[in-house]
A and B are shown apart, each in its own frame.
Chain A
Amino acid sequence: MRRYEPILALVLAAAMITAAIMAPWLRFVLTIALAKGIAVVGILLLLRAGQVSFGHALYVAFGAYVVAFLAPRLNDAVLLLAAAAVGAGILGLLIGLFVTRYRQIFFGMLNLAMSMVFYSLLEKLYHITHGSDGIRVEVMPVAGQALDRVAYEWSIFGIALALAFTVGLLVRLYLSSPMGEALAGIKTRETRLEFMGVPARGVLLSAYVMSAMLGGIGGAIIAMTSRHVTPLLAYWTSSGELVFIAILGGAGGVLGPFLGAAAFELVRIYAAASFADAWQLILGSVLLLVILFAPGGLWGMAARLLGKGGTR
Chain B
Amino acid sequence: MTEVLLQATGLRLAFGGVKAADNIDLGVMKGEFLAIIGPNGAGKTTFINMSTGYLRPNAGEITYEGRRITGMSPRAIVKLGIARSFQLPQLFIEHTVEQNIALAVASRDGIWSPLAPLMRPRYRDEARDLLARFGLSAIADTRADALNEGARKLADIAMAVALKPRLLLMDEPTSGVAASEKMAIVETLVNVLRDAKVTAVFVEHDMDVVERFADRVAVWSQGRIAALGPPDQVLNDPAVLRDVIGIERHA
Contacts and interface: CB of A to CB of B under 8 A. Distances in A.
B52 interface: yes
A182 B112 CA distance: 10
B99 to A, nearest CB: 7
A181 B96 CA distance: 11
B115 interface: yes
Given A184-B92, A192-B92, A196-B159, A174 B115 contact: yes
B112 A197 contact: no
Interface size class of B (residues with CB under 8 A): 35 or more
Contact of A191 (B90, B99, B114): B90
B240 to A, nearest CB: 31
Contact of A178 (B73, B78, B84, B106): B106
B157 to A, nearest CB: 12
A203 B108 CA distance: 15
A189 interface: yes
B116 A177 contact: yes
Contacts of A199: 75
B94 A196 contact: no
Interface string B51-89: 010000000000000000000011100110001101000
B74 A194 contact: yes
A189 B103 CA distance: 12
Q: Say whether chain B's binding surface is mostly helix, strand, loop, or mixed.
A: loop
A176 B111 contact: no
Contact of A185 (B83, B103, B109): B103
Given A196-B163, A198-B107, 12 more contacts: A176-B118, A176-B119, A177-B114, A182-B103, A182-B111, A185-B92, A188-B91, A192-B90, A192-B91, A194-B75, A195-B74, A195-B160
Listed from nearest, the 9 A-B pairs whose CB atoms lie closest are A178-B106, A178-B111, A197-B78, A192-B90, A196-B107, A173-B115, A185-B92, A179-B114, A194-B74
26 contacts: A173-B114, A173-B115, A176-B117, A176-B119, A178-B106, A178-B111, A178-B113, A179-B111, A181-B103, A181-B106, A181-B118, A182-B107, A185-B95, A188-B91, A188-B92, A188-B93, A188-B95, A189-B93, A193-B107, A195-B52, A195-B74, A196-B107, A196-B163, A197-B78, A198-B111, A206-B114
